[in-house]
Amino acid sequence: MRAKITINSNDYTIDFTKPLDISIPIVSGDKNPVAWYLDAPNVEPVKVGKWVAAVAQGSVVNFNTINFNPHAHGTHTECVGHITEKVHSINKSLKTFMFTAEVITLVPESYADDLVFTKKQVQKAIGSKRPEALVIRTLPNTTSKKSRKWSNTNWPYLMAEAVAYIRECSVKHLLIDLPSVDRERDEGALASHKAFWDLEGKIRMDATITEMIFVPHKVKDGSYLLNLQIASFENDASPSKPVLYALEK
């Protein structure tokens, strides 16, 4: 299926049969990525007495229970309820799902004992573009991100001034291939989360952060259409499936 759309007075064609999925699925066991000091997620059939809900074990259906944490076990999208006393729901905060998006690639720079992404880097990468969503691929970018054990790795993070600049560019949806936009151990500062949602100003209830994506190298830096879908959880975060579509002139 192909469709024509107009973005900022420019006409594009989108081939919806060619999705570019940048989500990481939840997989039972060690093949799944894990962050925040939790164990791996678990998917297993329901067991009642000697009955096991698996066709391979004699049942007529497969009937699994899944134990996971959206923040720790794969691609997830969160709203401001992640850091507020009142737990706002992502299911109520994200009400539209198609956005203009810009994919950028950043190389972390040394800062004290950390690796960070700076405001200057973001400014250079975005240029004059003002997309609704910003997708950040970080280098190095290997497929190991799909199963990485992130806990206690002190991953690179976005400086708060960089995130404030992203907010000032009117970006409503920020996506990154790391477990958090903030430092792993920051003593609860959450400076970049707070900067993005403007916690000290007019809180952006309709803005979202999506973490633990994976952007393969075949997805080039540039402009796309983003379809950002979540599961209907009444929670601050939900597993999500961001999908990009190329814009053809």
- What digits encode the pLDDT tens for the residues 26-70? 999 999 999 999 999 999 999 999 999 999 999 999 999 999 999
Q: For position 167, which CATH number holds?
A: 3.50.30.50
CB of 58 within 8 A of CB of 205?
Answer: no
Tens of pLDDT along 146-183? 999 999 999 999 999 999 999 999 999 999 999 999 99
What would the pLDDT profile of 90-99 be if each residue is shown by its tens digit?
Answer: 999 999 999 9
Give pLDDT, residue 8. Answer: 82
Using N-to-C axis directions, what is the helix angle for 119-126 and 160-168, rounded to 10°?
A: 30
Q: Could you tell me if residue 57 is inside a domain?
A: no
Is position 184 within any domain?
yes
Instruction: Quote the number of domains for the chain.
Output: 1
Evaluate whether residue 49 is within a structural domain. Answer: no
Contact present, 167 and 50 (Cβ < 8 Å): no
Residue 140 is assigned to a structural domain of this protein: yes
CA distance 72 to 68: 8
Run of H or E including 239: strand 237-246
| φ and ψ of 124, to 5 deg | -65, -40
Tell me the pTM: 0.96
Range of the domain at 112: 2-25+72-246
